[in-house]
Structure 1
Amino acid sequence: MEPPKPSLRLLRQLSDRHVLGVLFEEPELTRAQIATRAGLSKPTVGESVRRLTEAGVVRDTGDRTGGRGRAGTILALTPDLGVALAVGIAPDGVLAEVVDVHGRVVSRATEGLALPTTPDRLEALLPAVVARAAAGAAGAVRVAVVSAADPVDRATGALVHLPDAPFLVGELSPVALLAPLVDGEVVVDNDVNWAARAELAATHDPGSGADEAADGVAYLYLDRGLGCAVVADGVVLRGVGGLAGEVAHVVTTGPDGRASAFIEVFAALGLREPGSTAVDTAAVLRLLELAAAPGGDPGAERAVDALVVAVCGVLAALVAFTDPAAVVLGGAWGSDPTFLARVGQRFGRMPRHVPLRPPAVLEQPSLAGARQEALRRLRERVVTGSAAG
């Protein structure tokens, strides 16, 4: 029995999706150029452009190509398709970026924070920063994607306070705060989860035969805060409540050789910021520098060795329970080459180990992941809106 043939409506929708995909990447093209890039015939593109124009998604710019041969009409997306927001709520402040359908950051606003902060402070700050960013862009905000340096309740998108969390003391609902500013959905997830998504997007190579997204990867983030994201079958595992990857209280080996919660290792080594449970990143980096200097520093060596042992204990737990193809060590001191090499040496001698590597995305990886998702959702809204029209 022959498989059913796709309907004419489905074929038209697929053609429209291909045409829009090309115009998302290149803002102004002729019909002939779209046909070449989309791999469609010129008549098919012509019909698709007609439908998309009637739907108010594509427009004739009024410009024509010059040079030899027949002049072509320059086509572009209409300017009122809206924008997306990528928002980062981090220990150092709130950052909001406005992204258009072409992936360009058209506006940005930021405001600093001091640790620890409170829900009252963020309830006033978050909408204000987002409103400033949105005011600098043309078009309605269709979707907002938020990256938060705190656990995120999977069902509600609210930030959840856990014991020893160094950032937000209390709970906060970004969805409720931003809903009045967005005419679509507000999506919230933990910052390390977004960083892992950005990492997979940056390293995915369809022709390589190896795909960490499919095989599984653990992203261990070591900075002022401690976090982990586990990806299996291309999906970030969030857990029933969204708390998967919260490694601060994973039991590992402490500086005295006894079992200790991971977060307590830093207290025992005097590596917390004053008045906070946040890791003193600058102090850790100084220790690494002293330990790597010619002749070394015995005290620094001992402290770094203790950190290496503690991190390897966490890695052993990750590998035992998630069986990843690789582990990415991110964060300001987690990705430090000296530290990564020391961890790799010790971890490689353990009964179960996997390759370790530094992250490919170093510049604001969590915001990069949120930005990618905001753009994807904005474009999908344009595509589905044109089909409905």
Structure 2
Amino acid sequence: MTAPKPSLELLRALTDENVLRVLMAHARLTRAEIATRTGISKPTISECVQRLEQARLVVDTGERTTGRGRVGSYYALAPHLGTALVASITPHGVAAEAVDALGRTHGQVRTALQADAGQEAVAEALGAAAVQLGGQTGGPLRLAVVSAADPVDRATGRLVHLPDAPFLVGALDPPAVLAGTVTGPVLVDNDVNWAARAEYEYGCVQGVDDFVYLHLGEGLGCAVVGDGVVRRGHRGLVGEIAHLYTAGPDGQAMPFTEVFAALDLRRASSTAVDVPKLLEILEAPDAGADRVRVALAHAIGGVLSAALSFADPQTVVVGGPWGSRPRLIAALEEHLTRSPRSVPVTAAVLTLPELAGARSRAVEELGSLIVRAAHPATQW
């Protein structure tokens, strides 16, 4: 039986998507250059560009080719197509930026906050950043992608407050905060999941579809990636490891977060890890520091053993302000070599990976919105 031929509308939609995608990878192109990059004939590209101009998705930039031969016009995505908001909420403040479909940044806002600033202050900073960026870009903020240093309910996008969480922003609701300034969807996930996505796309585990990303900073977190996808679980709380039982300094089992209390590595009046103090210990040459490093390796090794049992990763990535230190990585490797299920341990390599991961998703989602706008009735 002969398969049915695709409709003319579907063929046009596919051609339009190819042209829009190539213009998302290049700031400007002539029709001949578009034809070369897409492998589509020049007459078909000319018809497509005309359609996209009429739809106000593509514009003639007014620039012309120089040199011998026929003069060509340069085309680009229309400037009014809007931007995506990318925001990162951390214990130190809110960082936000607007990006277009080519990944270019059109304004940045950074608001410093205290770790105990609270839900209202964080909401105010996030909302104000969105308003400021919306005014700077001259077009709509069509969607938002938010990274938060707290657990996130995957169904609602609200932050989830768990016991002993070092960053107290309660049940902050980013979709509600941004509803008045962002015209489209608001995607929220925790910072460790975004960091894992970034390392998978651009960092130390490119091409590795199954891995665990362990974040060690003021807070403790883990991301599980299986078949190239971050696994979030029923509520979105996969990787919340603070209360996972592991080996304490004296060999007795205790929650992971309590190990740092037992080692006197918490900030005063907080459950947050004292990162400066811990970094000093990791680099110190004395026997006392060695004992702390061994205790940390045993505790972290217990957490990783649980991850290996449940997730069966190909490798483990360790990141965060103190997680990727060479001495700690070496201690973890030594500990895991004695495990029945040893896997390689590697240090994360990206700077601000959570923001990089959120930015990448924002650019991807914005591109898809623009493509769908060309043929809103087509089933993609």
Is TM > 0.5 for Structure 1 vs Structure 2?
A: yes
1:348 Cα deviation (Å)?
1.5
- Moved runs in structure 1, 4+ residues, more than 3 A? none
Cross-structure match for 1:170? 170
Distance 2:46 2:271 in 1: 61
Q: CA deviation at 1:314?
A: 0.4
Q: Secondary structure at the match of 2:81?
A: coil
Partner of 1:29: 29
**Alignment of 1:359 onto 2:348:** yes
Equivalent residue, structure 2, for 1:246:
240
CA distance in 2, matches of 1:3, 1:358: 50
The answer to whether structure 1 residue 313 and structure 2 residue 302 are counterparts is yes
1:246 is paired with a residue whose SS is coil
List alignment gaps of at least 5 residues for structure 1: 291-295
Indicate the larger mover: 2-11 or 74-83. Answer: 2-11
Q: Is the 8 A contact 1:222 1:333 kept in 2?
A: yes
Query: Which of these residues, 207, 224, 235, is aligned with residue 230 of structure 1?
Result: 224
Q: Indicate how the Cα distance of structure 1 residues 267 and 129 shifts in structure 2: closer, same or farther if over 3 A, else same.
A: same
Question: Which range is displaced more, 52-61 or 250-259?
Answer: 52-61
- Whole-Å separation in 1 of the counterparts to 2:135 and 2:249: 51
In structure 2, stretches of 5+ residues that fail to align are none
**Structure 1 counterpart of 2:296, one-letter code:** L
Q: How far is 1:169 from its partner?
A: 4.6
- Percent of residue pairs identical: 52
| Aligned CA-pair RMSD | 1.5
Query: Residues 293-312 of structure 1 correspond to what in structure 2 (within 5 A)?
Result: 296-312=285-301
Cα distance between partner residues in 1 of 2:342 and 2:138 = 50
Q: Distance in 1 between matches of 2:46 and 2:234?
A: 48
Aligned length: 377
Q: Does 1:67 align with 2:56?
A: no
Distance 1:100 1:223 in 2: 31
Distance of aligned partners of 1:384 and 1:169 in 2 relative to their CA distance in 1, 3 Å threshold = closer
Correspondences of 1:130-141 after superposition (within 5 Å): 130-141=130-141
1:285 to 270, 273, 279: 279
Deviation at 1:41, TM superposition (A): 1.3
Matches within 5 A, 1:137-286: 137-203=137-203, 211-213=207-209, 216-286=210-280
Residues 97 and 108, structure 1, Cα contact 8 Å, conserved in 2: yes
What residue in structure 1 maps to residue 93 of structure 2? 93
Say whether residues 1:347 and 2:341 are aligned partners: no
Structure 1 counterpart of 2:11, which letter? L
Q: TM-score, with normalisation over the residues of structure 2?
A: 0.96
- CA deviations on 1:291-318 (whole Å, 9 max, x unpaired) are xxxxx30111111110011000000000
Give TM-score scaled by structure 1 length: 0.94
Indicate if the aligned counterparts of 2:91 and 2:115 stay in contact, CA closer than 8 A: yes
Distance in 2 (CA, whole Å) between partners of 1:305 and 1:203 is 28
User: What's the counterpart of residue 293 of structure 1?
Assistant: none
Rounded Cα–Cα distance in structure 2 between residues aligned with 1:204 and 1:161: 31
Distance 1:218 1:359 in 2: 11
The equivalent of 1:56 in structure 2 is 56
User: Is the partner of 1:383 in helix, strand or coil?
Assistant: helix
CA contact (8 A) 2:203 2:348 kept: no
